[in-house]
Amino acid sequence: MNSTERKGYLGEFIAVLLLRIKGYRILARRYKTVCGEIDIVAQRRDVVAFVEVKSRKSLEKCCDAINAKQMGRIRRTSEIFLSKNPRLSSCFIRYDVILTPRRRLPRHLENVSM
């Protein structure tokens, strides 16, 4: 595993901790399909959040790493996840981003739309 991969795993670990502190239950990590990958799928009460984690040197670089094409892949992948988990069909679906800049507190952006 190279340095970039380690930083990505650390960012996801921090994101999972943050979500758990906020009361979320983690349903999946690194959920992969032919359409793409979702870093974290989490649920709190009647909300299911599909979470993209961005780990970069600064908050600005984290924000710059998010794009509409990527969010489109996450949406398509989330549809596959939901089709395989029909018990979640009555839940409110949300797309979140957690930014994990180096040496800073993570930031959770809820209901991101692009």
pTM over 0.85: yes
1 vs 22: which has the higher pLDDT:
22
Question: Kind of pairing, strands 92-99 and 37-44?
Answer: unpaired
Domain 3-109 top-level CATH class:
alpha beta
What is the predicted pLDDT for the residue at 61? Answer: 82
Proportion of the chain above pLDDT 70, given as a percent: 98
Which H or E run contains 99? Answer: strand 92-99
Number of H helices, E strands in the chain: 3, 5
SS3 21: helix
What is the predicted pLDDT for the residue at 114? Answer: 57
pLDDT tens, residue by residue, 34-81: 989 999 999 999 999 999 999 888 778 877 888 888 888 999 999 999
